Structure 1
């Protein structure tokens, strides 16, 4: 077998080497973005757009961009007083242990999403179920439509409920899709889930007493 010359071998190794990831840029001004950059919710397309700090601050102004884009907040809140019980979980009919709920400003029906090997699986939640489960929830009352979500997780001893930025929910979906193995996700996905929620709980703050009830 004929061996490649040194230049030819170097070229072949270069072709086999994966290309470096393209740097992320602001969707509005084209500025390069660091890790942990802000996001804007495109309410018309139900999508997220990467944004630099300056553009994110611009779209925080009322009416900016015709109201189509909304800056995603960075708060993570819990309500130590009002939690979810087994009856509430049963009413939601969530087929997995982790899910998040979204509300759109222009939609009467909340959307229930949960991670899967194919990405985020979505189902509309009946408004009556939302009222039954979250009608007296201070976290649900504080939820900002389109840009925040209620993130739920059921473990052996409790049901966690946090108000989180919507981009964190889709980050979780991506992590689960990357790690998922077998029917229930496998050990790596479960470990990733544990680490994700541990970081969220360390970051979370109790809901202020003056929050709407």
Structure 2
């Protein structure tokens, strides 16, 4: 994702500034608006509803642009063993993973004070996760991600629009202080996940 695309997520997600326009047709956009991703540059563009709907089907826009979906799923018990989490190399309690169709690979990132930091994903880990959590196996390449949160009870996972993950990245960059983040940062992070739980449709997974 480009740095200019990330900067918009230092503010609450999908909130348009007064006078902001669609980045595709220049029509004014509403405060609650949609996003389209440029698959080549990874830039996330604010769009009007009309432009958004043009790219909701595979193959639209010469296969370069794709609309970011608007579904939210929550697996409160996520079959992901501690050994697998450690093998991904995530030093914090949260990470998001998605399939990059342009590079034909699955990538893992975790939010940090420096932005979205990439972590190596072991061969076969993505397939293993989807096979163990079939309710989340319909995650769409490029535009949806699996956002994993490690808590006291184990792991929970959200299938979310990719822009939601960058909202979390922006939130961490905005609030993180010192080595452990500070109470303000963790209050903001906990609030972020609580809002996701309230918005998402709960799905059952096998314990693992």
User: Would you say same fold, with TM above 0.5?
Assistant: yes
Relative to structure 1, the CA distance from residue 34 to residue 66 in structure 2 (aligned partners, 3 Å threshold; closer, same or farther) is: same
CA distance in 2: counterparts of 1:62 and 1:208, whole angstroms: 28
1:120 paired residue number: 116
2:190 paired residue number: 194
CA distance in 2: counterparts of 1:77 and 1:133, whole angstroms: 15
CA distance in 2: counterparts of 1:104 and 1:189, whole angstroms: 29
2:94 paired residue number: 98
Report how far residue 98 of structure 1 moved.
1.1
More relative contact order in 1 or in 2 (CA 8 Å, sep 6+)? 2
Q: Is the 8 A contact 2:76 2:204 kept in 1?
A: no
CA distance in 2: counterparts of 1:179 and 1:92, whole angstroms: 25
Report how far residue 204 of structure 1 moved.
0.8
- Among candidates 61, 76, 82, match of residue 65 of structure 1: 61
Unaligned runs of 5+ in 2: 1-16
Q: How does 1:8-19 map to 2 (within 5 A)?
A: none
1:181 paired residue number: 177
CA distance in 2: counterparts of 1:105 and 1:58, whole angstroms: 20
Report how far residue 208 of structure 1 moved.
9.0
Q: 3-state SS of the aligned residue for 2:180?
A: coil
1:12 paired residue number: none
Q: How does 1:144-163 map to 2 (within 5 A)?
A: 144-163=140-159
Relative to structure 1, the CA distance from residue 118 to residue 22 in structure 2 (aligned partners, 3 Å threshold; closer, same or farther) is: farther
Q: State the number of aligned residues.
A: 189
Q: Is the 8 A contact 2:39 2:65 kept in 1?
A: yes
Report how far residue 49 of structure 1 moved.
0.8
Q: Is the 8 A contact 1:78 1:161 kept in 2?
A: yes
Q: Is the 8 A contact 1:109 1:125 kept in 2?
A: no
RMSD: 2.2
Report how far residue 50 of structure 1 moved.
0.8
Relative to structure 1, the CA distance from residue 207 to residue 69 in structure 2 (aligned partners, 3 Å threshold; closer, same or farther) is: farther
1:16 paired residue number: none
1:29 paired residue number: 25
Report how far residue 34 of structure 1 moved.
2.3
Moved more, 22-31 or 180-189: 22-31
- Among candidates 81, 84, 93, match of residue 80 of structure 2: 84
Q: So what's the TM-score if we normalise by structure 1?
A: 0.80
Report how far residue 76 of structure 1 moved.
0.6
1:169 paired residue number: 165
2:38 paired residue number: 42
Larger Rg belongs to: 1
Report how far residue 78 of structure 1 moved.
2.3
Q: 3-state SS of the aligned residue for 1:127?
A: coil
